[in-house]
Structure 1
Amino acid sequence: MFIFEAVEALESYFPLSLQESWDNSGFQILFNEHPLKGILLALDIRFETVIEAIENDCNLIISHHPLFLQALKNFDYKFYPENVLYMATKNEISIYAAHTSLDVAPSGLNYYLCQKLSLKNFHMVDQLKPVFIGEIETEQSFNDFILYVKKTFNIPILKYVLAHNRQIKKVAICSGSCADYIYKLKNFDIDVFITGDLKHHSAIFAQENSINVIDATHFYTEIDSRDILFEHLWKLGVKLIKSNNDYIPWLYI
């Protein structure tokens, strides 16, 4: 099997046509005619990720996050992300990102998160892709629901906005940096919004408009992307490895 054949199989589930206009899903580096030795699956592409691919004889890295979203205006191989490009190219490792194409797809990341939370009757909101809305089976207090989300996503610490004390039933969810959808969700009948990267002013907006929000972090709402990629690629019969170098980029005290 060649590298492009593995990616064609992946794109049958997560076509690039689904990505947002600002995104950079697809090949970041391509050695198109190379036989595929193995695939390393990652959330982010760090320098250590490339070293991990080399050590495991994988010549294709498939990540959720693109290595870069904008064109590079200069190149200094000693610094990130240029050092990643340099090392990967030097070792003939292809890099492919399935980003918003994975977020939006019917069997993609936000669909997966709804299943993980055991939501019922969930669906993607057409005018708010990739936001999903669903219902928990039994109403519960916001405090109990926070603990449920924390346990389900295995989050050591999270922040939240308490804007009302109603029981939680209807849930909106959108992985990663989707917090700005809060400005449109005020027009929807929901009890809580789960997302990541909630900003100060968005939090105030949520409080003032009676929308409870759980910031489950960008990392913990998207780390499952590796499992989704694995589920869709294992039938290819090639070596598949989940990276050991994905970790949240800050510490708490």
Structure 2
Amino acid sequence: MKAVELFSRFEQDIPPSYAVPGDQNGYIGTLDPHIFDVQKILVLMDYILPESPNIDYSLYDLLVLHHPPPISPVIPTYVIHSNWDIVTGGACDALADALNITSFDVLDESTGIGRIGGIDRETEDIITQGRFIHEIMATLRVHDIRTVNCNRFQPVGTICVISGFGLTPPLISKAISKGVDIVVSGDLTHPGAVLAKNANITLIDATHHATELPGLYRLGEMISSYGLDVQVRNFGIPWTRSVNRGVRREYDNH
């Protein structure tokens, strides 16, 4: 398939017009898309040079990234970012499906970001926040979860899921205005936590990376349906955590 044909399929299924203003989407490269063929595609969340020794880019015709790269990749690249978060069936819906949440509303009608719904259960079991967090950790395979206003015995009510970056004050405020009980996303900030504390809304930060993984794999499946050879690789979060439990400071007890 010519690259220009593939890009046309991308833009038909995931319209660039859905992207938030100022977002980077589309083709990055010097080769003319009308000239080169695409058969083997590598799908990544991020382009990070230290990971490059683990990848032989010469095996692929195209790199598809979810996040816009901070530097120019070594092969032709196509970025599918916020339009994938927003489009029906995209990253937000993939996250909802992974967590067995049936959506009935969109968080932000002006952009299409976020899905609001409830847990889809065949039984009458009451799902507590503690059990829900356990299921999030097991499903998304994440062990570093931060919460605000979590009561593990409280039944789960209305849930909003936002793939990636949703725990910002503006989106938390929208969730509050819509009567949401729990927001699941990533990128929790201090101001967002303070806002949630005062509004008594529960926040679950399952990390930016983990909440976008269901969407990344779904993106790979969509591209595979075009009849192309697609590999999705996950390198995890781009940092390490260091904890020194042996250091005691005078203010630790205050």
Shorter-chain-normalised TM-score: which range? Answer: 0.7 to 0.9
Deviation at residue 166 of structure 1 after TM alignment: 4.1
Task: Give the root-mean-square deviation of aligned CA atoms.
Answer: 2.0
**In 2, Cα distance between the equivalents of 1:12 and 1:159?**
37
Q: Which amino acid aligns with 1:16?
A: P
Contact 2:87 2:112 in 1 (8 A): no
Aligned pairs for 1:139-154 within 5 A: 139-154=126-141
2:197 is aligned with 1:219: no
**In 1, Cα distance between the equivalents of 2:8 and 2:52?**
22
What residue is the counterpart of 2:187 in the other structure? 197
- Structure-1-length-normalised TM-score: 0.84
What residue is the counterpart of 1:62 in the other structure? 64
What residue is the counterpart of 2:247 in the other structure? none
- Structure-2-length-normalised TM-score: 0.83
**In 2, Cα distance between the equivalents of 1:105 and 1:53?**
31
**In 1, Cα distance between the equivalents of 2:228 and 2:102?**
35
Q: Relative to structure 1, is the Cα distance of residues 171 and 30 closer, same or farther in structure 2, using a 3 angstrom cutoff?
A: farther
Deviation at residue 128 of structure 1 after TM alignment: 5.8
**In 2, Cα distance between the equivalents of 1:64 and 1:112?**
14
2:218 is aligned with 1:228: yes
SS at match of 1:223: helix
Aligned pairs for 1:74-223 within 5 A: 81=71, 85=72, 88=74, 93-125=75-107, 126-127=109-110, 129-136=112-119, 137=121, 138-162=125-149, 166-180=154-168, 181-223=171-213
- The answer to which structure, 1 or 2, has the higher relative contact order (CA under 8 A, 6+ apart) is 1
Q: Relative to structure 1, is the Cα distance of residues 133 and 233 closer, same or farther in structure 2, using a 3 angstrom cutoff?
A: same
Deviation at residue 210 of structure 1 after TM alignment: 0.7
Point out where structure 1 has 5 or more consecutive residues left out of the alignment. Answer: 69-80
**In 2, Cα distance between the equivalents of 1:250 and 1:129?**
30
Deviation at residue 195 of structure 1 after TM alignment: 1.0
Contact 1:172 1:193 in 2 (8 A): yes
SS at match of 1:189: coil
Q: Relative to structure 1, is the Cα distance of residues 49 and 97 closer, same or farther in structure 2, using a 3 angstrom cutoff?
A: farther
SS at match of 1:250: coil
Contact 2:144 2:207 in 1 (8 A): no
Q: Relative to structure 1, is the Cα distance of residues 37 and 53 closer, same or farther in structure 2, using a 3 angstrom cutoff?
A: farther
**Number of aligned positions between the proteins:** 231
Q: Relative to structure 1, is the Cα distance of residues 190 and 159 closer, same or farther in structure 2, using a 3 angstrom cutoff?
A: same
**In 1, Cα distance between the equivalents of 2:126 and 2:11?**
38
Q: Report sequence identity in percent.
A: 24
Which of 224, 247, 250 is matched with 2:236 structurally?
Answer: 247
Point out where structure 2 has 5 or more consecutive residues left out of the alignment. Answer: 244-254
Contact 1:110 1:174 in 2 (8 A): yes
Q: Which amino acid aligns with 1:185?
A: A
Deviation at residue 153 of structure 1 after TM alignment: 1.0
